[in-house]
Amino acid sequence: MDAFPPPCPPMTALSFEFYPPKTDEQRAQLDRTAEKLKGYGPEYVSCTFGAGGSTLSYTSETVRHLNQQHGFSAAPHLSCVGGSREEIRELLKLYRAIGCKRIVALRGDLPSGMGHPGDLRYASELIAFIRAEHGDTFHIEVGAYPETHPQSDDALSDLKYFKAKVDAGADGAITQYFYNPDAYFHFVDAARKLGVGIPIVPGIMPISNYSQLKRFSEACGAEIPRWIAKRMQAYGDDVDSIREFGADVVANLCERLIAGGAPSLHFYTLNLAKPTQAVLSRLGR
Ligand code: FAD
Protein backbone atom coordinates (compact mmCIF):
# COMPACT_ATOMS: atom_id res chain seq x y z
CA MET A 1 0.00 0.00 0.00
CA ASP A 2 1.23 3.51 -0.79
CA ALA A 3 2.36 5.60 2.17
CA PHE A 4 0.33 8.52 0.81
CA PRO A 5 -2.99 8.22 -0.99
CA PRO A 6 -3.15 9.72 -4.48
CA PRO A 7 -4.20 13.39 -4.26
CA CYS A 8 -7.45 12.91 -6.15
CA PRO A 9 -8.82 9.52 -5.16
CA PRO A 10 -10.38 7.67 -8.10
CA MET A 11 -13.70 7.79 -6.28
CA THR A 12 -13.93 11.59 -6.40
CA ALA A 13 -16.88 12.12 -8.72
CA LEU A 14 -16.51 14.50 -11.64
CA SER A 15 -18.90 16.44 -13.84
CA PHE A 16 -18.13 18.50 -16.93
CA GLU A 17 -19.93 21.56 -18.20
CA PHE A 18 -20.26 22.35 -21.90
CA TYR A 19 -21.89 25.15 -23.83
CA PRO A 20 -24.15 24.45 -26.81
CA PRO A 21 -22.23 24.71 -30.10
CA LYS A 22 -23.80 26.76 -32.86
CA THR A 23 -21.56 26.12 -35.88
CA ASP A 24 -20.29 22.93 -37.50
CA GLU A 25 -16.79 23.75 -36.34
CA GLN A 26 -17.95 24.16 -32.74
CA ARG A 27 -19.96 20.96 -32.97
CA ALA A 28 -16.87 19.04 -34.12
CA GLN A 29 -14.86 20.55 -31.28
CA LEU A 30 -17.46 19.51 -28.72
CA ASP A 31 -17.42 15.97 -30.12
CA ARG A 32 -13.63 15.77 -29.84
CA THR A 33 -13.75 17.14 -26.29
CA ALA A 34 -16.55 14.79 -25.26
CA GLU A 35 -14.58 11.81 -26.60
CA LYS A 36 -11.50 12.81 -24.61
CA LEU A 37 -13.37 13.49 -21.36
CA LYS A 38 -15.56 10.40 -21.55
CA GLY A 39 -12.73 8.26 -20.21
CA TYR A 40 -12.88 10.01 -16.84
CA GLY A 41 -16.32 8.49 -16.28
CA PRO A 42 -18.14 11.68 -15.25
CA GLU A 43 -21.21 11.28 -13.08
CA TYR A 44 -22.96 13.61 -15.53
CA VAL A 45 -22.26 16.45 -17.93
CA SER A 46 -24.24 19.67 -18.18
CA CYS A 47 -25.05 22.09 -20.96
CA THR A 48 -25.51 25.82 -20.45
CA PHE A 49 -28.47 27.89 -21.53
CA GLY A 50 -28.61 31.44 -22.88
CA ALA A 51 -31.06 33.54 -20.92
CA GLY A 52 -33.71 35.19 -23.02
CA GLY A 53 -34.17 32.22 -25.30
CA SER A 54 -31.23 32.78 -27.66
CA THR A 55 -29.83 29.29 -27.24
CA LEU A 56 -33.08 27.69 -26.22
CA SER A 57 -33.15 24.93 -28.80
CA TYR A 58 -29.35 24.66 -28.94
CA THR A 59 -29.34 23.47 -25.33
CA SER A 60 -31.94 20.75 -25.82
CA GLU A 61 -30.31 19.62 -29.09
CA THR A 62 -26.92 19.44 -27.41
CA VAL A 63 -28.28 17.52 -24.43
CA ARG A 64 -29.89 15.01 -26.76
CA HIS A 65 -26.66 14.69 -28.75
CA LEU A 66 -24.50 14.22 -25.65
CA ASN A 67 -26.83 11.47 -24.45
CA GLN A 68 -27.30 9.66 -27.73
CA GLN A 69 -23.93 10.12 -29.39
CA HIS A 70 -21.64 10.00 -26.39
CA GLY A 71 -23.65 8.00 -23.85
CA PHE A 72 -23.49 10.71 -21.19
CA SER A 73 -26.14 11.53 -18.69
CA ALA A 74 -26.58 15.17 -19.70
CA ALA A 75 -28.26 17.82 -17.60
CA PRO A 76 -29.64 20.97 -19.25
CA HIS A 77 -29.21 24.31 -17.53
CA LEU A 78 -32.54 26.09 -17.39
CA SER A 79 -32.81 29.76 -16.54
CA CYS A 80 -36.09 31.51 -15.88
CA VAL A 81 -35.25 35.13 -16.55
CA GLY A 82 -37.04 36.53 -19.59
CA GLY A 83 -39.23 33.43 -19.95
CA SER A 84 -42.92 32.84 -19.35
CA ARG A 85 -44.31 30.02 -17.22
CA GLU A 86 -45.66 28.46 -20.42
CA GLU A 87 -42.24 28.47 -22.14
CA ILE A 88 -40.60 26.90 -19.10
CA ARG A 89 -43.41 24.35 -18.85
CA GLU A 90 -42.81 23.31 -22.48
CA LEU A 91 -39.06 22.97 -21.96
CA LEU A 92 -39.57 20.85 -18.85
CA LYS A 93 -41.91 18.57 -20.79
CA LEU A 94 -39.30 18.26 -23.53
CA TYR A 95 -36.51 17.46 -21.06
CA ARG A 96 -38.68 14.86 -19.37
CA ALA A 97 -39.55 13.32 -22.73
CA ILE A 98 -35.91 13.00 -23.77
CA GLY A 99 -35.09 11.30 -20.49
CA CYS A 100 -33.24 14.02 -18.56
CA LYS A 101 -32.91 13.14 -14.91
CA ARG A 102 -31.11 16.25 -13.73
CA ILE A 103 -31.58 19.98 -14.31
CA VAL A 104 -29.36 22.90 -13.33
CA ALA A 105 -31.95 25.53 -12.38
CA LEU A 106 -30.91 29.17 -12.52
CA ARG A 107 -32.30 32.64 -12.68
CA GLY A 108 -29.91 33.60 -15.47
CA ASP A 109 -28.99 37.11 -16.59
CA LEU A 110 -30.90 39.11 -19.18
CA PRO A 111 -28.81 40.23 -22.14
CA SER A 112 -28.47 44.02 -21.98
CA GLY A 113 -31.35 45.74 -23.71
CA MET A 114 -33.82 42.93 -23.04
CA GLY A 115 -36.62 44.40 -20.99
CA HIS A 116 -39.07 41.80 -19.74
CA PRO A 117 -37.84 39.99 -16.62
CA GLY A 118 -40.14 37.00 -17.12
CA ASP A 119 -42.78 35.34 -14.95
CA LEU A 120 -40.39 33.89 -12.37
CA ARG A 121 -38.06 36.38 -10.71
CA TYR A 122 -35.59 34.17 -8.87
CA ALA A 123 -34.17 30.68 -9.13
CA SER A 124 -36.06 29.73 -5.94
CA GLU A 125 -39.33 30.41 -7.80
CA LEU A 126 -38.15 28.29 -10.73
CA ILE A 127 -37.32 25.39 -8.41
CA ALA A 128 -40.74 25.63 -6.73
CA PHE A 129 -42.31 25.64 -10.22
CA ILE A 130 -40.36 22.54 -11.32
CA ARG A 131 -41.33 20.69 -8.15
CA ALA A 132 -44.99 21.72 -8.50
CA GLU A 133 -45.13 20.55 -12.12
CA HIS A 134 -42.94 17.44 -11.99
CA GLY A 135 -42.58 16.38 -8.36
CA ASP A 136 -39.33 14.50 -7.83
CA THR A 137 -38.77 13.61 -11.50
CA PHE A 138 -35.68 15.79 -11.74
CA HIS A 139 -32.62 16.04 -9.55
CA ILE A 140 -32.23 19.82 -9.26
CA GLU A 141 -28.84 21.53 -9.02
CA VAL A 142 -28.60 25.23 -8.24
CA GLY A 143 -25.87 27.88 -8.36
CA ALA A 144 -23.96 28.95 -5.24
CA TYR A 145 -21.57 31.87 -4.77
CA PRO A 146 -18.76 31.44 -2.23
CA GLU A 147 -17.54 34.97 -3.06
CA THR A 148 -21.13 36.33 -3.06
CA HIS A 149 -23.30 36.87 -6.14
CA PRO A 150 -22.20 40.07 -7.93
CA GLN A 151 -25.64 41.68 -7.68
CA SER A 152 -26.13 40.85 -4.05
CA ASP A 153 -26.19 43.66 -1.49
CA ASP A 154 -24.49 41.59 1.16
CA ALA A 155 -23.12 38.11 1.78
CA LEU A 156 -25.64 37.23 4.48
CA SER A 157 -28.73 37.96 2.42
CA ASP A 158 -27.17 36.09 -0.51
CA LEU A 159 -26.72 33.10 1.78
CA LYS A 160 -30.31 33.43 2.95
CA TYR A 161 -31.50 33.37 -0.67
CA PHE A 162 -29.28 30.37 -1.33
CA LYS A 163 -31.05 28.58 1.52
CA ALA A 164 -34.40 29.59 -0.03
CA LYS A 165 -33.42 27.57 -3.12
CA VAL A 166 -32.70 24.55 -0.96
CA ASP A 167 -35.98 24.99 0.91
CA ALA A 168 -37.75 25.17 -2.46
CA GLY A 169 -36.40 21.72 -3.35
CA ALA A 170 -32.81 21.88 -4.64
CA ASP A 171 -30.92 18.58 -4.31
CA GLY A 172 -27.42 19.89 -4.87
CA ALA A 173 -25.45 23.04 -5.62
CA ILE A 174 -22.57 23.91 -7.94
CA THR A 175 -20.53 26.96 -7.08
CA GLN A 176 -19.35 29.80 -9.22
CA TYR A 177 -15.62 29.33 -9.76
CA PHE A 178 -13.10 30.77 -7.33
CA TYR A 179 -9.37 30.42 -6.70
CA ASN A 180 -9.37 30.87 -2.94
CA PRO A 181 -10.41 27.63 -1.23
CA ASP A 182 -11.17 29.47 2.04
CA ALA A 183 -14.08 31.20 0.29
CA TYR A 184 -15.57 27.76 -0.41
CA PHE A 185 -14.95 26.36 3.06
CA HIS A 186 -16.45 29.43 4.73
CA PHE A 187 -19.47 29.31 2.47
CA VAL A 188 -20.08 25.62 3.16
CA ASP A 189 -19.69 26.16 6.93
CA ALA A 190 -22.11 29.09 6.90
CA ALA A 191 -24.64 27.10 4.84
CA ARG A 192 -24.38 24.13 7.23
CA LYS A 193 -25.01 26.46 10.18
CA LEU A 194 -28.23 27.54 8.48
CA GLY A 195 -29.26 23.89 8.24
CA VAL A 196 -28.40 23.39 4.55
CA GLY A 197 -27.43 19.74 4.12
CA ILE A 198 -27.21 19.30 0.32
CA PRO A 199 -23.87 18.63 -1.42
CA ILE A 200 -22.16 21.86 -2.46
CA VAL A 201 -19.85 21.03 -5.35
CA PRO A 202 -17.04 23.43 -6.23
CA GLY A 203 -17.10 24.72 -9.80
CA ILE A 204 -13.57 24.56 -11.21
CA MET A 205 -12.40 26.87 -13.98
CA PRO A 206 -9.13 25.66 -15.53
CA ILE A 207 -6.82 28.48 -16.55
CA SER A 208 -5.52 28.63 -20.09
CA ASN A 209 -6.18 32.14 -21.37
CA TYR A 210 -5.64 35.04 -19.00
CA SER A 211 -7.46 37.82 -20.87
CA GLN A 212 -10.54 35.61 -21.29
CA LEU A 213 -10.44 34.61 -17.62
CA LYS A 214 -10.14 38.26 -16.57
CA ARG A 215 -13.17 39.17 -18.67
CA PHE A 216 -15.28 36.30 -17.29
CA SER A 217 -14.22 37.06 -13.74
CA GLU A 218 -15.17 40.72 -14.00
CA ALA A 219 -18.60 39.71 -15.26
CA CYS A 220 -19.37 37.04 -12.69
CA GLY A 221 -17.66 38.55 -9.64
CA ALA A 222 -15.00 35.84 -9.24
CA GLU A 223 -11.78 37.11 -7.72
CA ILE A 224 -8.45 36.31 -9.33
CA PRO A 225 -5.97 36.53 -6.45
CA ARG A 226 -3.31 39.18 -7.02
CA TRP A 227 -0.43 36.70 -6.96
CA ILE A 228 -2.07 34.69 -9.75
CA ALA A 229 -2.94 37.78 -11.81
CA LYS A 230 0.58 39.18 -11.48
CA ARG A 231 2.21 35.93 -12.55
CA MET A 232 -0.13 35.62 -15.56
CA GLN A 233 0.58 39.19 -16.60
CA ALA A 234 4.29 38.53 -16.34
CA TYR A 235 4.01 35.59 -18.74
CA GLY A 236 2.55 37.92 -21.40
CA ASP A 237 2.17 35.94 -24.65
CA ASP A 238 4.00 32.88 -23.32
CA VAL A 239 0.96 30.61 -23.63
CA ASP A 240 2.79 27.45 -22.56
CA SER A 241 3.90 28.98 -19.28
CA ILE A 242 0.41 30.29 -18.59
CA ARG A 243 -1.03 26.82 -19.15
CA GLU A 244 1.58 25.08 -17.00
CA PHE A 245 1.23 27.57 -14.18
CA GLY A 246 -2.57 27.60 -14.49
CA ALA A 247 -2.76 23.80 -14.32
CA ASP A 248 -0.51 23.73 -11.24
CA VAL A 249 -2.59 26.39 -9.47
CA VAL A 250 -5.93 24.76 -10.25
CA ALA A 251 -4.71 21.24 -9.41
CA ASN A 252 -3.46 22.52 -6.07
CA LEU A 253 -6.85 24.16 -5.48
CA CYS A 254 -8.63 20.87 -6.26
CA GLU A 255 -6.36 18.93 -3.90
CA ARG A 256 -7.16 21.32 -1.08
CA LEU A 257 -10.87 21.19 -1.82
CA ILE A 258 -10.91 17.39 -1.84
CA ALA A 259 -8.83 17.20 1.32
CA GLY A 260 -11.29 19.63 2.93
CA GLY A 261 -14.30 17.49 2.07
CA ALA A 262 -15.59 18.72 -1.31
CA PRO A 263 -18.06 16.03 -2.47
CA SER A 264 -17.02 16.15 -6.15
CA LEU A 265 -15.61 18.53 -8.77
CA HIS A 266 -17.54 20.27 -11.55
CA PHE A 267 -15.31 21.48 -14.39
CA TYR A 268 -16.20 24.46 -16.57
CA THR A 269 -14.61 23.03 -19.69
CA LEU A 270 -15.56 25.80 -22.18
CA ASN A 271 -15.73 22.84 -24.60
CA LEU A 272 -11.96 22.32 -24.43
CA ALA A 273 -10.46 19.06 -23.19
CA LYS A 274 -6.80 19.99 -22.67
CA PRO A 275 -7.04 22.50 -19.78
CA THR A 276 -9.25 20.10 -17.79
CA GLN A 277 -7.04 17.12 -18.64
CA ALA A 278 -3.94 19.05 -17.52
CA VAL A 279 -5.51 19.54 -14.10
CA LEU A 280 -6.81 15.98 -13.82
CA SER A 281 -3.46 14.45 -14.79
CA ARG A 282 -1.82 16.39 -11.95
CA LEU A 283 -4.46 14.89 -9.66
CA GLY A 284 -3.44 11.39 -10.68
CA ARG A 285 -6.44 10.78 -12.93
P1 FAD B 1 -30.70 33.49 -7.84
O2 FAD B 1 -30.38 32.43 -6.88
O3 FAD B 1 -32.13 33.75 -8.16
O4 FAD B 1 -30.04 34.84 -7.26
C5 FAD B 1 -29.85 35.97 -8.11
C6 FAD B 1 -29.64 37.21 -7.26
O7 FAD B 1 -30.87 37.57 -6.63
C8 FAD B 1 -28.62 37.05 -6.11
O9 FAD B 1 -27.97 38.29 -5.97
C10 FAD B 1 -29.50 36.76 -4.91
O11 FAD B 1 -28.90 37.16 -3.70
C12 FAD B 1 -30.75 37.59 -5.22
N13 FAD B 1 -31.99 37.00 -4.70
C14 FAD B 1 -32.39 35.70 -4.76
N15 FAD B 1 -33.63 35.58 -4.23
C16 FAD B 1 -34.03 36.82 -3.86
C17 FAD B 1 -35.22 37.35 -3.27
N18 FAD B 1 -36.26 36.56 -2.94
N19 FAD B 1 -35.29 38.69 -3.04
C20 FAD B 1 -34.25 39.52 -3.35
N21 FAD B 1 -33.09 39.07 -3.91
C22 FAD B 1 -33.00 37.75 -4.16
N23 FAD B 1 -26.28 31.75 -16.53
C24 FAD B 1 -26.88 31.53 -17.72
O25 FAD B 1 -27.46 32.46 -18.29
N26 FAD B 1 -26.88 30.28 -18.31
C27 FAD B 1 -26.30 29.22 -17.71
O28 FAD B 1 -26.32 28.12 -18.25
C29 FAD B 1 -25.65 29.41 -16.45
N30 FAD B 1 -25.06 28.39 -15.79
C31 FAD B 1 -24.56 28.59 -14.54
C32 FAD B 1 -24.06 27.49 -13.83
C33 FAD B 1 -23.57 27.64 -12.54
C34 FAD B 1 -23.05 26.44 -11.79
C35 FAD B 1 -23.56 28.94 -11.93
C36 FAD B 1 -23.02 29.13 -10.54
C37 FAD B 1 -24.04 30.04 -12.64
C38 FAD B 1 -24.56 29.88 -13.93
N39 FAD B 1 -25.09 30.93 -14.66
C40 FAD B 1 -25.67 30.72 -15.89
C41 FAD B 1 -25.02 32.30 -14.12
C42 FAD B 1 -26.29 32.67 -13.33
O43 FAD B 1 -27.43 32.58 -14.15
C44 FAD B 1 -26.10 34.08 -12.82
O45 FAD B 1 -25.12 34.12 -11.82
C46 FAD B 1 -27.37 34.77 -12.34
O47 FAD B 1 -27.07 36.16 -12.15
C48 FAD B 1 -27.90 34.24 -11.02
O49 FAD B 1 -28.49 33.03 -11.15
P50 FAD B 1 -28.94 32.22 -9.83
O51 FAD B 1 -29.71 31.06 -10.27
O52 FAD B 1 -27.81 32.02 -8.93
O53 FAD B 1 -29.95 33.34 -9.20
Domains of the chain and CATH, by start = 13-282 (3.20.20.220)
Q: How many angstroms separate the alpha carbon of residue 239 from the centre of ligand 1?
A: 32
Q: How far apart are CA 18 and CA 52, in angstroms?
A: 19
Crossing angle of helices 85-97 and 123-134, in 10° steps, is: 50
| Percent of all residues in the chain with a pLDDT value above 70, rounded to a whole number | 93
Which pTM was predicted?
0.96
Q: How far apart are CA 122 and CA 120, in angstroms?
A: 6
CA angle 189, 281, 145 (to 5 degrees): 25
Q: Which helix (H) or strand (E) holds 76?
A: strand 74-79
Q: How many angstroms separate the alpha carbon of residue 107 from the centre of ligand 1?
A: 5
Nearest 5°: phi and psi at 196?
Answer: -80, 120
* Closest protein CA for atom 49 of ligand 1: 107
Active site residue 17: yes
CB 134 within 8 A of CB 92: yes
* Closest protein CA for atom 9 of ligand 1: 152
Q: In this predicted model, what pLDDT tens digit does every residue of 107-143 receive, in sequence order? A: 998 877 666 789 999 999 999 999 999 999 999 999 9
Q: In this predicted model, what pLDDT tens digit does every residue of 148-199 receive, in sequence order? A: 999 998 999 999 999 999 999 999 999 999 999 999 999 999 999 999 999 9
Ligand 1, CB cutoff 6 Å, lining residues: 48-49, 51, 77, 79, 104, 106-109, 122-124, 143, 149, 151-152, 158, 161, 165, 174, 176, 203
